[in-house]
């Protein structure tokens, strides 16, 4: 099974793949919705970070949201047609970066045994990171479909790692490698 530090590298690789899917798009392309009952690429970007924050917060460390105003907007429990206006691309990027820094900080504290119950939290951290990586890739699939199919942009190649494969068309991390 992966060590926490190896999973953090895979998390970074998944986030880099996401960046390859959106950083060259215009703000209008990032906020465009194919129809009322779908989400913009920007929503998926915020949602990926939102889920990462809440999983880390609820499973390993109670800490405040880095951007509480985004919490309701990025919650998938809200139907697409009721999701409000997206923040700026810069704010979405900053939110994603801040959450990733917090994921790293908490996971590194766990890997370095700087937490109570370090062995138990290591088990939690491993599974949490696999879930975060696969969640990142899950939303990357939708981003890729809109990027290519609706916006006409070429897709980047799959991440350069032997630890990721496709399952039902989605990139997934093999948690037992």
pLDDT of 1 higher than 80: no
The mean pLDDT of 124-136, rounded to a whole number, is 97
Q: What is the pTM of this model?
A: 0.94
Is the pLDDT reported for residue 156 higher than 60?
yes
pLDDT of residue 177: 56
Taking phi over 0 as left and psi of -120 to 50 as alpha, with beta for the rest, 87 belongs to beta
Would you tell me how many other CB atoms lie within 10 Å of the CB of residue 77? 5
**Quick one: pLDDT band at residue 82, thresholds 50, 70, 90?**
confident
- Whether 175 shows a pLDDT value over 70: the answer reads no
Which of residues 61 and 14 earns the better pLDDT score?
14
pLDDT at res. 80: 81
Say how far apart CA 121 and CA 111 lie, in whole Å: 9
Terminal-to-terminal C-alpha distance of the chain: 6
Cα–Cα distance, 147 to 51 (Å, whole number): 22
Instruction: Name the pLDDT band for 2 (thresholds 50, 70, 90).
Output: confident
pLDDT of residue 79: 83
Residue ranges of domains in the chain, CATH in brackets:
4-173 (1.20.120.450)
Closest residue by Cα to residue 133 from 164, 94, 96, 93: 164
Confidence band, pLDDT 50/70/90 cuts, at residue 62: confident
Q: What is the average per-residue pLDDT within 4-8?
A: 96
Q: Are 114 and 18 in contact (CB under 8 A)?
A: no
Q: Which uninterrupted H or E stretch holds 166? A: strand 164-167
> Measured at the alpha carbon of residue 129, what is the angle toward residues 62 and 48, in degrees to the nearest 5?
75
Give tens-digit pLDDT for 102-112: 999 999 999 99
Of the listed ranges 1-5, 47-51, 123-127, 173-177, the one predicted with least confidence: 173-177
């Amino acid at each position: 099974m992966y060590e926490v530090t190896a999973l953090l590298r895979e998390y970074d690789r998944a986030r880099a793949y996401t960046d390859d899917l959106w950083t060259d798009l215009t703000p209008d392309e990032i906020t465009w919705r194919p129809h009322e009952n779908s989400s913009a690429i920007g929503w998926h970007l915020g949602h990926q970070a939102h889920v990462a924050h809440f999983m880390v917060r609820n499973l390993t460390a109670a800490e405040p949201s880095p951007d509480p105003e985004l919490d309701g907007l990025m919650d998938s429990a809200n139907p697409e047609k009721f999701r409000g206006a997206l923040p700026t691309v810069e704010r979405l990027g900053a939110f994603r970066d801040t959450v990733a820094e917090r994921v790293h900080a908490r996971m590194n504290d766990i890997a370095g045994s700087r937490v109570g119950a370090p062995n138990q939290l290591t088990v939690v951290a491993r599974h949490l990171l696999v879930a975060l990586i696969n969640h990142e890739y899950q939303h990357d699939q939708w981003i890729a479909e809109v990027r290519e199919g609706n916006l006409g942009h070429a897709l980047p190649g799959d991440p350069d790692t032997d630890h990721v494969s496709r399952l039902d068309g989605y990139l997934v991390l093999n948690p037992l490698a």
